[in-house]
Structure 1
Amino acid sequence: MPNPAPKPPTAAVPPTAAAALTDLPQLAVGIDVGGTGTKGGIVDLTDGTLVGKRFRIPTPQPATPEAVAEVIGQILDELLSRNGAPAQTDLSVGVTFPAIVIDNVVLSASNIDQSWLNCDTGLLLGHLPGRTFTLNDADAAGLAEARYGAGAGRTGTVMTVTLGTGVGSALVHDGVLVPNSELGHLEFEGVVAETKVSAAARQRADQPWDEYGEVLRRYLTHVERIQAVNQFIIGGGVSKRSDDFLPYVTGLRAEVVPAALVNNAGIVGAALFATEQAALTDLRG
Structure 2
Amino acid sequence: MLRGKMVDEGTHDQRLLARQGPADWVHMDPWRVMRIQSEFVEGFGQLAELPRAVTVFGSARTPGDSPDYAMGRELGTALARSGYAVITGGGPGVMEAANRGATEVEGGVSVGLGIELPFEQRMNDYVELGIEFRYFFVRKTMFVKYSCGFIALPGGFGTLDELFEALTLVQTGKVTSFPVVLMGSEFWGGLLEWIKASLLGTGKIAPQDLDLITVTDDVDEAVRVIMEADRARSVATWDEEQAVEAQVAEPQ
Q: Shared topology, TM-score over 0.5?
A: no
Task: Answer 1 or 2: which has greater helix percent.
Answer: 2
Task: Answer 1 or 2: which has greater strand percent.
Answer: 1
Higher relative contact order (CA 8 A, sep 6+): 1
TM-score by length of 1: 0.31
TM-score by length of 2: 0.33
